[in-house]
Chain A
Amino acid sequence: MELTLWTYEGPPHVGAIRIAASMRDVHLMLHSPQGDTYADLLFTMIERDGQRPPVTYTTFQARDLGSSTAEMVIKSLRESAERFKPQVLMVADSCTAELIQDQPGALALGADLPVPVIPLEMAAYTRKENWGASETFYQLVRGLLSRQAPAPGSERPKRDPEIKPSVNLLGPTKLGFRCRDDVVEIERLLASMGVDVNVVAPLGASPRDLQSIPAADANVNLCPEVSDLTCSWLARTFGMPTIQTIPMGWGATRDFIAEVAQVLDLNIDANAVGDSRLPWYSRSIDSTYLTGKRVFVFADGSHAIAAARVARDEMGFNVVGLGTYSRERARDVRAAAKEYGLEALITDNYLEVEAKVQELQPEMVLGTQMERHIAKRLGIPCAVISTPAHVQDYPARYSPQMGFEGANVLFDTWVHPLIMGLEEHLLHMFRDDFEFNDSVGPSHLGSEGEGARSLSDGDEPMSEGNVIWAFEAEKELKKIPFFVRGKARRNTERFAEEQGILTIQVDTLYDAKAHFSN
């Protein structure tokens, strides 16, 4: 039993619904009680889908238990097949149905339905949403393709250089982070390399589309949380190479271009494919103020790893924390964290994440919807970079995270919550000017800045410990711009406690500043 206040991921059957909702001409029959129908609103409210996901829920009640739940499964299956006429009918249990063991998959296979059936096992008590999505996608692809598989050991024919090379984009789903726009951006990027996109899946694909996956030369593992398992099966079974680089950020997009060229044996000049404004924006002098900003990154595995690289190498930030809620990606994130000299935070307990943020006192948080709330409460600027996300993270505008345009979007989105460069310099330069009201937050952020101010300024109650502030030291503290004052205060108090200083003097303040500056 695990005490949970907020959860990063839904249960695995929500992952199955994501696959169904992403595709065309499939239907999912979910054996579940009525409350589980809340999943509809994830799609219709958060992603503003104009239709319910293609799911029929059995919605059994207590009075049905022990007698008629299996009949309800059969009835729902027949009605789903009849009403929606899908190319494939997927069948799964939600957590409660798993306990009553009606085996809807077996019932469906024996029910002589006029449609191919893919049974799913969702392991509700050990697994979570992304695993469910990954497993569903894999079962679907395997179920539709295993008959086409060549004999084991047979050599994959070499690509005919006369035919235009093509790849599949695997992994994008509904309720993924900016998948809609990432697909467009990567298709554009590949087109400029002369590479066709054969199938995008699950997003927008039909089961018939999935059957033509092997016709491409390689698979792009665009969202490993969903597509890793499927890509390795396709590699094993069809000898299809997998392109592993996730093109998020300027550098990674260049690496992606290089990997595609290498896998498809193309002779391509990466400079000619396209470019982003990120490198110049990052070098322009306004960006100097970004230097060494202490950033905490927490997201799903792929977005966490990609964001850390962009943060350090392309924005000039200092990555002070890196972690993920996806245990399936723990190994990758641990390895990445090592490169930054960090110990990765692997947890799906948001209280642990909050404690870590509090301890590290970063100047910026790159995280999920959860970290947005944590950061808001602590008065730290934050940008959302990953699911779980809320309705505002499914914007109307074109806003990819991947490719060259994605790099532009990352630069803008991450800089936006921070105080604008020139503004920060002015605050420093004119902080004693009576007209320069230092309690004003970032000029472009209105009320959000207000929240930050009230939480982080020096007016909050002084240390809970034994340390007290001398009058002069407190006056000096107030001269420090508000957006770093909270940190200065906490650092000074910590320093004083460590040094056994009971009363903080002006000198203590500057001693602490020197102590923490390296």
Chain B
Amino acid sequence: MSSVIASTVAEHHPGPQTQERGQRAVFCGLTSIIWLHRRIQDAFFLVVGSRTCAHLIQSAAGVMIFAEPRFATAILGERDLAGMADCHEELDRVVSELITRRSGINRLFLVGSCPSEVIKLDLETAAAKLQAKHENKVRISAFSGSGIETTFTQGEDQCLKSTAAELPALPSGEANLVVLGTVSDIVEDQFRRIFDDLGISNVHFYPGRKADDLPAVGKGTRLVAAQPFVGETVRALIERGADIITAPFPLGAEGSKSWFEAISKAYGVDDARVQQTLELPYQRAKRAIETQAAKLKGKRIHFLPDSQLEIPMARFLSEECGLTINEIGTPFHDQLVMRGELARLPPDVCIVEGQDLDPALNRVREARPDLTVCGMGIANALESEGLRTKWSIELVFSPVQGFDQAGDLASLFAKPLIRESILEVGSWS
């Protein structure tokens, strides 16, 4: 069970690396539901858990999306725990109620939580049984978003991995490209136009906009990650024969260019065509970043562990915006998915995997960086101590990948600093 959280520190980064154990301050994997349900528009996520789970999701979502949501919690009560009610029968009842209520749903995910894992409620078996009952109406499967097994963005990895076995086999002799990890619709559309221009066809985004949008996988599949938190799914697809393309993540002008170049190389696209296709969006991205970078250049930034986007963000900010990296905290460090990133980090930057909150906060206080990237619960606390912050959940919620979002990405970091320079009230220092 612990394999998700435990991982080995990468050997590819020449700089100092440490591991910390102690109090963590990160969301659990259930938080992934917030962007997954926006991405997969006909899927419903039913958390089997406690009132805490329901409260967490609604608080993390900031009650922003208050239409009838495509997620809910089946809250375990004392009767369920005491064995007075059969959990599987209860789940059966709740799922039937839900399916009647929401007829447009094509995929139902049962999502495991800390309490359901601790009482060893077997949601996979439950999903299989429910599937038999609701055959032809809705596909039902299960994954765990529990905080004892996953942190924050790892929920998406578990979700994708759970459907990996359902992916149809790619007939031999055929080839396709799977782009792994949630990107927003607008990013998908931009990427598709570039793939078309590069002459790369049969491209699948996974997860797609529809739940049954499942790519075929086999020997002819090339796999590239668009998000850094999909390591287990990458491994599952490699096992089914897919070839992974090592690339930095498509963040910033350079990151996006390298990402498309690595894919083009794997496809043997003619170099002139690659340069011709990428030149225009690349230059546009450079220009967009330039405006923001002027405000960021020479500033020191510190990452507290949160979304697993810390390493690629640090790479983008040091490489393209001229920031100095004080420390990169990351909840876990997956060597396989970070392979394209590490070599581009400044060689002396310190990577800290895991977390021990209070000592970590003390390091921030001591270093007094110009900007700290951290979770929402910590941001205002640091601001009140005179430290500028960028809360990291926005990096997951907003479209930041690709050439045409590179300027937006830089501006997410520039905005707190601009704000400091324009406000004539109060003081941050």
Contact = CB atoms under 8 A, between A and B. Distances in A.
Interface of A: 1-7, 9-11, 13-14, 33-42, 44-45, 48-52, 56-63, 65, 76, 79, 83, 94-96, 99-100, 124-126, 128, 369, 373, 377, 390
A83 B358 CA distance: 9
Interface in B54-110: 54-56, 58-60, 62-63, 66-69, 72-78, 80-81, 85, 87, 90-91, 93-94, 97-98
B68 A59 contact: no
A139 B169 CA distance: 61
Nearest to A58: B23
A384 to B, nearest CB: 12
Given A40-B377, A58-B23, A60-B148, 14 more contacts: A1-B87, A4-B54, A6-B63, A11-B50, A33-B148, A35-B146, A37-B26, A39-B377, A40-B378, A45-B380, A57-B24, A62-B146, A63-B6, A124-B52
B379 interface: yes
Contacts of A95: 50-52, 114-115
A44 B376 contact: yes
A36 B30 CA distance: 11
A127 B151 CA distance: 27
Contact of B1 (A14, A62, A390): A62
A5 B68 contact: yes
Given A61-B149, A83-B358, A36 B52 contact: yes
Identify the interface centre among B2, B93, B118: most chain A CB within 10 Å of its CB.
Answer: B118
B384 interface: yes
A38 B51 CA distance: 13
Contacts of B72: 3-5
A1 B77 contact: yes
A83 B362 CA distance: 12
A38 B50 contact: no
Given A36-B147, A390-B63, A61 B74 contact: no
A99 B118 contact: yes
Contacts of A390: 62-63
Contact of B147 (A14, A35, A48): A35
Interface string B138-173: 000000001111010000000000000000000000
Contact of B51 (A11, A42, A100): A11
B335 to A, nearest CB: 19
Interface of B: 1-2, 5-6, 22-31, 48, 50-56, 58-60, 62-63, 66-69, 72-78, 80-81, 85, 87, 90-91, 93-94, 97-98, 114-115, 117-119, 146-149, 151, 358, 375-381, 383-384
Contacts of A45: 62, 376-377, 379-380
A48 B377 CA distance: 10
Contact of B118 (A37, A41, A65): A65
Given A35-B28, A35-B30, A96-B118, A14 B381 contact: no
Contacts of A377: 67
A96 B148 contact: yes
Identify the interface centre among B6, B60, B63, B93: most chain A CB within 10 Å of its CB.
Answer: B63
A390 B63 CA distance: 8
Contacts of A7: 51, 54-55, 58, 73
Contacts of B48: 1
A40 B68 CA distance: 26
A492 B78 CA distance: 47
B1 A126 contact: no
B77 A126 contact: yes
B377 A33 contact: no
